[in-house]
Amino acid sequence: MTGNNPIIRLENLVKRFDGATVLDGVSLDIRDGEFLTILGPSGCGKTTILRIIAGFETPDQGRVHLDGQPLNDLPANQRRVNTVFQSYALFPHMTVRENLAFGLKMNKVSRREAERRIDDALDMVDLSHLARRYPDRLSGGQQQRVAIARAVVNNPLALLLDEPLSALDAKLRKRMQVQLKHMCRELGMTFVFVTHDQEEAFAMSDRVVVMNEGRIEQVGTPEEVYEEPVNMFVARFVGETTILDGSVVSKERETLHAMVEGKACELETARDFLPGEAIKIVLRPEDIIVEQETDSEHALWLPGTVRDTVYKGSTWDMVIALDSGKDVLVTEFFNEDDERIWHKSGDRVMVSWYKGWEVVLPDEDVTAL
């Protein structure tokens, strides 16, 4: 079902509210059948994108195409997309079944066909036994499933989900994430999901769009976004990071000779840098190696003191205060055969990282000046 032709194409969308620019030239191709998540802090414009696709907002500039057709002048009720609202927006004067039937009735689906599709949708979200209830007699999780079923039952080309899990408790949320992912696969339907929760985005998506201040910072698979962030914003926003300062000495091919935290070392990067340029080295907690003493002269070993340790069941987390003043977050995975020493708070250690796992980015704070 998953094809490479875009089901939704956004071209250079610009939207302003009261003089504030909410979307600043957003272009994006959403592939047929994919689970795409738009991720960003609140106010970054991610919900506005969804509302423009749904037809609740009109872009000041730019175009929206659905299945090859221009959408700009089509009112919301004629677009073959459906929305799951953050507040669910179930009709309180209709039963669960009537809520599901509403869209089908509006689109003049025959009664028999409607009955069958409603039964299927209710079955899918496991709510057949509550079909005659009114929304105010349902729990938050049940209302949420009704909202999803009410949208899905219309068989839209794309399902738009506006932070639909934000009101649920953590456990239910995890379950719904798995369910939504399954639904996307089973129905072969395109899901466009908006969230500010990075873990949620990674758990479900085929591709993640990271947004900030009305612009798309990066589009890619969760792995790409996590392991190869294109700039400091993405690196900081997605996952835990340790960021070291450095400057470029010279570059040959993919090897960068640089000074990092005052020590000379070699880094790997495909990016181009000029000698003397200020750089940031982004490390994930699992990239980092901690040893009590070192013999190697080649790798960059930074001395530090273990400040905190957190036992998390499957991992052992540490915060190490480097002598240069930075804090380093470390995650070590348990290996029962391993006879390594687990460090304790107060231990003196040497810190480095697995060669090639680092991400080197230009120092934007300096280049911006």
CB atoms < 10 A from the CB of 186, how many? 10
Q: Is 98 in the site for other proteins (CB under 8 A)?
A: yes
Q: Single out the residue of 6, 101, 13 nearest to residue 64, CA to CA.
A: 13
Q: Is 157 in the site for other proteins (CB under 8 A)?
A: no
- Kindly provide the residue ranges of all beta strands, DSSP E only, lying in the chain, ordered along the sequence: 6-17, 20-31, 35-39, 61-66, 69-70, 81-84, 158-162, 190-195, 207-212, 215-220, 242-252, 255-260, 263-268, 278-283, 288-291, 302-311, 315-322, 327-333, 348-353, 359-362
C-alpha 117/C-alpha 134 separation (Å) is: 20
Q: Is 97 in the site for other proteins (CB under 8 A)?
A: yes
Would you say the C-alpha torsion 201, 57, 13, 75 has a positive or negative sign?
A: positive
Which of 1, 76, 341, 366 is in the footprint of other proteins by CB under 8 A?
A: 76
C-alpha 229/C-alpha 131 separation (Å) is: 46
Q: Is 17 in the site for other proteins (CB under 8 A)?
A: no
Q: Is 95 in the site for other proteins (CB under 8 A)?
A: yes
Which of 106, 178, 264, 366 is in the footprint of other proteins by CB under 8 A?
A: 106
Q: Is 69 in the site for other proteins (CB under 8 A)?
A: no
Which of 82, 205, 212, 218 is in the footprint of other proteins by CB under 8 A?
A: 82
Q: Is 92 in the site for other proteins (CB under 8 A)?
A: yes
Q: Are 216 and 10 in contact (CB under 8 A)?
A: no
The residue (of 159 and 225) whose beta carbon lies closer to other proteins is 159
C-alpha 42/C-alpha 347 separation (Å) is: 40
Q: Is 87 in the site for other proteins (CB under 8 A)?
A: yes
Q: Is 48 in the site for other proteins (CB under 8 A)?
A: no
Tell me the three state secondary structure of residue 286. Answer: helix
- β-pairing, 35-39 with 207-212? parallel
The residue (of 115 and 277) whose beta carbon lies closer to other proteins is 115
Token couple for 292: 């009590």
The residue (of 90 and 288) whose beta carbon lies closer to other proteins is 90
Write the binding mask 110 to 149 for other proteins: x where contact by CB under 8 A, - elsewhere: -x--xx----------------x-x-x-------------
Which of 17, 91, 342, 354 is in the footprint of other proteins by CB under 8 A?
A: 91
The residue (of 75 and 313) whose beta carbon lies closer to other proteins is 75
DSSP at 168: S
* Interacting residue ranges for other proteins, rule: CB under 8 A: 54-56, 75-78, 81-83, 85, 87, 89-93, 95, 97-98, 101-103, 105-107, 111, 114-115, 132, 134, 136, 150-151, 154
